[in-house]
Amino acid sequence: MAKSNFSELIKGQIPTLIDFSAEWCGPCKMMKPILDQVKETLGDQVRIIKVDVDKNPSIATVLG
């Protein structure tokens, strides 16, 4: 995803939760069922984006 597209996505009308994670991160994997439940409960009222920090380090760095 291009950085400009990402910026437009997170600044949209729908609240966006960004899940920064890594494949090797155990606690990150434990968040998946919780985030799935949040999405199931809130449906289209929220957008959840998963960002692999190993594959997208620039986005993780910019957003802290």
If one compares 46 and 7, the residue with the highest pLDDT of the two is 46
Q: Is the pLDDT of residue 2 over 80?
A: no
**Which bin fits 57, alpha (ψ -120 to 50), beta or left (φ > 0)?**
alpha
Split at pLDDT 50, 70, 90, the class of 33 is very high
Catalytic residue list = 25, 28
Pick the closest to residue 16 from 37, 35, 3 (CA basis): 35
pTM over 0.85: no
Domain 3-63: which CATH class? alpha beta
Q: Residue holding tokens 């400009």?
A: 4
